[in-house]
Amino acid sequence: MAESESKVFKPRPKHLLPVILGLLATGALAYPISLVGAPQAQVTPFVGDTVTSASLNAVVFVFALGASATVMFLLIRRGRMRFIRRLVKGALVVVSFAVAFWYSTSILASVVDLSTNLWTLVSLLLSLGIAAAIGLTIFGRGQIRQLSGVTALGALTGVFLGYSIGPVTALVLVGALVVYDIVAVFRGPVGALAKAVEAGDLPGAMYTYGELTIGMGDLVFYSLVATTAMVFFGLFSFFGTALGILAGSYLGFRALSKYEMFPGLPFSLLLGVAGMLLTAAATGTLYL
């Protein structure tokens, strides 16, 4: 979701900086993991990459998003902002460590024997260091420092999800997220939550760049789609997806200039998927 503090928002190319940095970080992280052939993690409750299992997983995922946004909104209305901030901080530290540990062990396993205590300890310490660095940057002072932490965590999480789910699940999930984001922003808990908080109230959950506020989830889902393109369809498809996401983000910013709030996923994800499929078809890597 994209949001501005005022009703007059003038989109400029500089507003694409968080998205550009997130995509650059995604490419830097997704390319090595696509080469090593690490096993996929099981992150969905329903196993498989069929339309049926993908649809069920999308329903569960979207329900979880809606439920969490609703709970946060209700707690904020009850004056529990401090509790929400602590909850967000704790969740982000745990997620940072989990995705960093998955990534580091996946890369290290391709070159060393992780069954030895030494390399297991190295991977653990490395993951703790990455999680600490992300936490310190996201919750530290300074817009540039926060931007580096947000883009790093968004890219790491997106790479983890994009690598771990199949292309069919990713495409079905994109469709579900587009519908959810439209409803949740204009008629649901995300829009209500955005109106209930000020810029900077929820660092980590939302990032403010100038007069523009972007949800962490937006950056994660951009990274997920770009990673799917990289892993399953190749490098050229990644670039096509990135261009589509950037074009869609700018269109979203243009729409935001006419609204107080506007969902950040529909244009970006749809154009990103279009770029992914077109380049995959053009390069002969589309097997769906």
Residue 246 maps to a domain: yes
Computed over every residue of the chain, the mean pLDDT equals 87
pLDDT of the residue at 8: 61
**Is residue 286 in a domain?**
no
DSSP notation for 260-281? SEE-SSHHHHHHHHHHHHHHHH
**288 lies in some domain:** no
Question: What CA–CA distance (Å, rounded) separates 15 from 9?
Answer: 11
Q: Is the confidence at residue 32, as pLDDT, over 60? A: yes
Query: Among candidates 23, 153, 152, which has minimal Cα distance to 88?
Result: 153
Tell me the average pLDDT across 258-274. Answer: 90
Query: Is 14 inside a domain boundary?
Result: yes
Instruction: Tell me the pTM.
Output: 0.92
Residue 219 is assigned to a structural domain of this protein: yes
The answer on pLDDT for 227 being more than 80 is yes
Residue 89 domain boundaries? 2-281
- What is the Cα–Cα distance from 278 to 54, expressed in whole angstroms? 22
263 part of a folded domain: yes
How many domains are contained in the chain?
A: 1
Give the tens place of pLDDT for each residue, 160-176.
999 999 999 999 999 99
Tell whether 287 is covered by a domain.
no
Tokens representing residue 104 in the block = 């580091």
If one counts every other C-beta atom within 10 angstroms of the C-beta of residue 46, the result is 15
Mean pLDDT of 268-280: 96
In a domain, 247, yes or no: yes
pLDDT above 90: residue 21: yes
| pLDDT score of 5 | 44
**Residue appearing with tokens 């890597």:** 285
